[in-house]
Structure 1
Amino acid sequence: MEEDKEESSKKQLRQDNPPATAASLFTDDLILEILSRLPARSVRRFKCVSMPWRDLIADPVNRKKLPQTLAGFLYTTYRSLGAVWSHHFASVSGGAAPVDPSLNFLQPKYKYIAYVDTCNGLLLCACSNKENPAAYGEQVRYVVCNPATERWIELPPQPQAQANRFHCASRLAFDPNVSSHFHVLEFVETYMDVGSCVTGVDIFSSQTGAWIRRDSELVEQITVFDEFRSVRFGGMLHLVGKLNPVNIYNEPALLVVDMEGKEWKTILLPDGSSSYDAIGLSQGCLHYASTTQAHVSNNSKKNAGIATKITLWRLENYDSKEWVLKCSASIDEPSNMPGLKWRVFAIHPDCDTVFLDGGDVLAAYDMQHQKFVRIINFEKGSYQVYLPYVPLFSEVLADADEQ
């Protein structure tokens, strides 16, 4: 009888004081240290472990220590032939904007602020103290800022283009995993018999604080497109362009150059690619997405519609420049969005989701699950330029001269 009472007491003691689980032995600081070393996609998934973990990851203070992923797109709308413009932010998750898209911290000095490019949390802007610098014949100044920390730096004036040469595209290159320094590359094209093609680049380094000019080392003639985003990958900047003239189709290709302008090369885009769409760094690899449209009949409605085929490619072997078709999908136009022609303008960095521009609609399409999601509608007649934004909370511009 006494043994039964003793065993019952021990059982009750175990119930009142359960043994510590492995997870309970981790302090919040240790958990944060582990999570900070994981990809952003994994961190988001770990929010489902428990309510304490969700609160720990969502805490604004802790977010500064954790890797971030694509939050949405900074974009500008223009009306009245560009005379009226405003800056906005479109969230890919439907949440609030993580930053102020109007960049109020720059407005005490600049009346004109134009988005130019983004890269890993930094934003390149063209700024002027005149509301319409073009009307005054005034050259804009480049400003690189971190919208999350509101730190910024104004770059010295860039070199003037020589006769018969002009600046065709400006790009920001920054990788916080490699260095706290950034580069701005402004490509120079020259008019030739076959059209204009890249003949050099002006490069600003935040480490030296100065511009340098490099001539192109390419044998091929290539034209780059200012409206398409670039990708910094493997220490090289990649831009979408066309070889000119390879054939009557102006074969699409990537222009590739290093941060010192000493190494140049081209990479042909996948066979059968006839459109100029988006490149992106996704899941650690360089990706390319293209779209084609075809008219299809709808027997139930007895009218024609538009089907968009999206193909997603991965650069399997960088040295051999070999592209592999990763997946493809055809989406019929949503019934409530008739007549829209979609183009891919961005690729998600963590998954096989592409972002589509329909002119008046911004949408996302999950290639693996074939799921279409409308993100935002725009007013008729407006024009948008989208820049992907990933929050960066570290003080990489700690030496910035805030004037």
Structure 2
Amino acid sequence: SKTGVWTHGVVWDNPLSVSRFPRSIFFNRMLHFSSDNNLVVAIDVEGNHRVIRGPMPDSARGVPNVYLSRGQLHLANGSVSELSIWALEDFSSENWTLKHSVSHLQLLGTEYSMFAGNYRVISIHPEHNVIFIVCEQLYMLSGPSLTKLMSYEMDSRELRFICDLEWGCRTPYLPYVPLLSEPLADGQ
């Protein structure tokens, strides 16, 4: 609130279910997060809210995550067979556009096909058509896991290995975007 004090002034008619680690973004002075039932919720500091229906069918599995890229809200949704990336190009119309769709095998190729059902999008680049994914494969129930961070360039359809993540690395993964408010020493 503007006073810096917690308030409870809004009761919603339809309570929403939010996952344990919801992916949320702040955009257009509102906090946006995805909820169950194919919904994206936007709420401002005054408690005003808006519910936007997502592009997936109600039968889609899981809750898609919300991201901000190129000044638009994006949703990443993994189905049984493919990954789809959607963009809300016009906030007022609530119409989503399919920006990219790729099968698990096309995304991961034969080299990383063992991760076909065990990956998730953790971020979308704020300025480029690049998604970041974490792939995880358990060796045994009690053994170590193999976890890799990768990027996928949607225009060229190129998957790039970034690094192996340490054993036990878990969500949430928080993207870091440096804010350079002063020019660098070399003027760049």
TM-score, with normalisation over the residues of structure 2? 0.77
AA aligned to 1:283 is: R
Aligned residues of 2:33 and 2:65 also touching (Cα < 8 A):
no
Deviation at 1:255, TM superposition (A): 1.8
Equivalent positions of 1:140-151 (< 5 A) are none
- The match for 1:254 is 40
**1:86-139: per-residue Cα shift (whole Å, max 9, x none)?**
xxxxxxxxxxxxxxxxxxxxxxxxxxxxxxxxxxxxxxxxxxxxxxxxxxxxxx
Q: Give the CA RMSD over aligned residues.
A: 2.2
- The match for 2:148 is 361
Deviation at 1:217, TM superposition (A): 4.3
**1:331-371: per-residue Cα shift (whole Å, max 9, x none)?**
42344435322111211111221111212111111111100
AA aligned to 1:330 is: S
- The match for 2:32 is 238
Distance 2:76 2:112 in 1: 22
**Does the C-alpha gap of structure 1 residues 362 and 293 become closer, same or farther in structure 2, counting only changes over 3 Å?**
farther
Q: Secondary structure of the residue that 1:358 maps to in structure 2?
A: strand
**1:41-81: per-residue Cα shift (whole Å, max 9, x none)?**
xxxxxxxxxxxxxxxxxxxxxxxxxxxxxxxxxxxxxxxxx
1:342 aligns with 2:122: no
- The match for 1:314 is 87
Distance 1:379 1:390 in 2: 22
Aligned residues of 1:224 and 1:255 also touching (Cα < 8 A):
no
TM-score, with normalisation over the residues of structure 1? 0.38
Distance 1:356 1:290 in 2: 12
**Does the C-alpha gap of structure 1 residues 226 and 213 become closer, same or farther in structure 2, counting only changes over 3 Å?**
farther
- The match for 1:266 is 51
Distance 1:228 1:355 in 2: 17
**Does the C-alpha gap of structure 1 residues 338 and 322 become closer, same or farther in structure 2, counting only changes over 3 Å?**
closer
Equivalent positions of 1:27-42 (< 5 A) are none
Runs of 4+ in 1 over 3 A off after TM superposition: 333-338, 379-382
How many residue pairs get aligned? The number is: 166
Q: Secondary structure of the residue that 2:6 maps to in structure 1?
A: strand
Deviation at 1:238, TM superposition (A): 0.4
Q: Secondary structure of the residue that 2:7 maps to in structure 1?
A: strand
Deviation at 1:378, TM superposition (A): 2.2
Distance 1:381 1:285 in 2: 33
**Does the C-alpha gap of structure 1 residues 271 and 378 become closer, same or farther in structure 2, counting only changes over 3 Å?**
closer
Deviation at 1:384, TM superposition (A): 4.2
Distance 2:71 2:26 in 1: 11
Aligned residues of 2:120 and 2:135 also touching (Cα < 8 A):
yes
AA aligned to 2:161 is: R
Q: Secondary structure of the residue that 1:339 maps to in structure 2?
A: helix
Aligned residue among 328, 352, 373 for 2:101: 328
Aligned residues of 2:38 and 2:64 also touching (Cα < 8 A):
no
Name the structure with the higher helix share.
1
Structure 1 stretches of 5 or more lacking a match? 1-202, 243-250, 295-308, 396-403
Distance 1:314 1:219 in 2: 28
**1:3-29: per-residue Cα shift (whole Å, max 9, x none)?**
xxxxxxxxxxxxxxxxxxxxxxxxxxx
AA aligned to 1:241 is: S
- The match for 1:394 is 181
Bigger mean CA offset, 280-289 vs 376-385? 376-385
Q: Secondary structure of the residue that 2:8 maps to in structure 1?
A: strand
Q: State percent identity of aligned pairs.
A: 30
Deviation at 1:227, TM superposition (A): 1.4
**1:201-237: per-residue Cα shift (whole Å, max 9, x none)?**
xx5x5xx4x2221343433221122413211111111
Distance 2:113 2:125 in 1: 26
Aligned residue among 53, 63, 68 for 1:276: 63
